[in-house]
Amino acid sequence: MSQQIDNHNSGVEADQRIWLTGASSGIGAALAEQLMLQGYSLVLTARNEEKLQDLKEALEKKKAQMAYHSSANTRANARAQAPRIDILAMDISDDSAVAEKRRLLAELAPDLAAIYMCAGVCEYLNFDSQSCATDDWPMVKRVHSVNFLGSVNCIEMALPLLKGFVARTQTQAHIVGLSSLALLMPFTRAEAYGSSKAALHYLLLSLAMDLKPHQIAVTSVLPGFVETPMTDQNNFSMPFIMSPSEAAKRICRGVANRPRVFAFPKRLYLLLKFFSFFPGLWFKKMSPQQEAVK
């Protein structure tokens, strides 16, 4: 068996719970596995309840297999049994659905060690190449309602429970949000996605200041390209793209010490940082060809 539940070494107590949004797919689903392997109990959120149920069953099967393989060692067996997985299906952008689920989250995780916010959508703005008209402006609001305002809903729900965890354990709680390396430089047609992630990043950085005295750390994670249903739609080159499981492992390692910002992969981060000092170069390279003005 190559992987063992390692909550002993990572200092995770059996009842430590993480609320993970966007768990039904991509990076979120891969993070669910990594966090379970570290020994955390999980509350999984996304809209698609069936997919969450499938993930829960797959994780429980894995957990049971590990318990079986470690049965000779009673302590390891007890640890392997510990993590619990619950489902809280909801649309994080739907204020009334969120209000309805508030009590259920409090029951599932009366005190919460951390929230990992992976729920997100990406849609691109389409301009008519001749007239530069677009019908897509409502889409900008739709993307913001999930990526930014949906995250606000989740933080609002989680905060009292994180405070409960701090009060009970006298240890720091953690808010982790997935923004994106895309916020470092503008990409064409990414008006909605990029601005929603920039807004989320700012929100997280401000919160990092305001929540620090309350023993709640906040980390904004800026991933580069990860191979998921979200990036399947992209028809442009995606340098340094990686698998969701590789991304999840890097995120777990990268946020372990609770930095304010964790950006990866470093090569793409440095490339975009370089262009941020020479924006003229970036705009020349990335702008679509200019149409002749009639």
Ligand X SMILES: NC(=O)c1ccc[n+]([C@@H]2O[C@H](COP(=O)([O-])OP(=O)(O)OC[C@H]3O[C@@H](n4cnc5c(N)ncnc54)[C@H](OP(=O)(O)O)[C@@H]3O)[C@@H](O)[C@H]2O)c1
Q: Is 91 in the site for ligand X (CB under 6 A)?
A: yes
> Interface mask (CB under 6 A) for ligand X, residues 177-216, using x and -?
-x-x------------------------------------
112 contacts 161 by C-beta, under 8 angstroms: yes
**How far is residue 186's CA from residue 194's CA, in Å, rounded to a whole number?**
7
Interface with ligand X (CB under 6 A), residue from 34, 82, 105, 120: 120
Least Cβ distance, residue 227 to ligand X (angstroms):
7
In the shown chain, the binding pattern of residues 42 to 61 toward ligand X, with x for contact by CB under 6 A and - for none, equals ----xxx--x----------
Q: How many CB atoms lie within 10 A of CB 169?
A: 15
- Binding mask 143-172 toward ligand X (x if CB under 6 A, else -) reads ---x---x----------------------
For residues 59 and 166, which CB has a smaller minimum distance to ligand X in the complex?
A: 59
Give per-residue burial for 113-135: e unless 16+ CB within 10 Å, then b.
bbbbbbbbbbbbbeeeeeeeeee
Distance of CA 261 to the CA centre of its chain: 13
Binding positions for ligand X, 218-247, rule CB under 6 A? 223, 225-226, 228-231
Quote the DSSP letter at residue 289.
Answer: P
Cβ pair 43, 109 in contact under 8 A: yes
Q: How many other CB atoms are found less than 10 A from the CB of residue 151?
A: 26
Query: Quick one: angle between helices 149-169 and 191-211, nearest 10?
Result: 20
Q: Nearer Cβ to ligand X, position 82 or 109?
A: 109
Quote the least distance from Cβ 202 to ligand X, whole Å. Answer: 15
Candidate segments 85-93, 166-174, 257-265, 281-289, binder of ligand X by CB under 6 A: 85-93
Q: Which of 80, 98, 112, 118 binds ligand X (CB under 6 A)?
A: 118
Query: Would you state the structure tokens that stand for residue 227, as one six-digit string?
Result: 């191979």
Longest alpha-carbon distance in the chain: 79
Question: Binding segment for ligand X among 15-23, 34-42, 77-85, 156-164 (CB under 6 A)?
Answer: 15-23
List the one residue from 37, 121, 161, 252 that touches ligand X (CB under 6 A): 121
Q: Rg of the chain over CA atoms, in angstroms? A: 20
Site residues (vs ligand X, CB under 6 A)? 21-28, 46-48, 51, 91-93, 118-122, 146, 150, 178, 180, 223, 225-226, 228-231
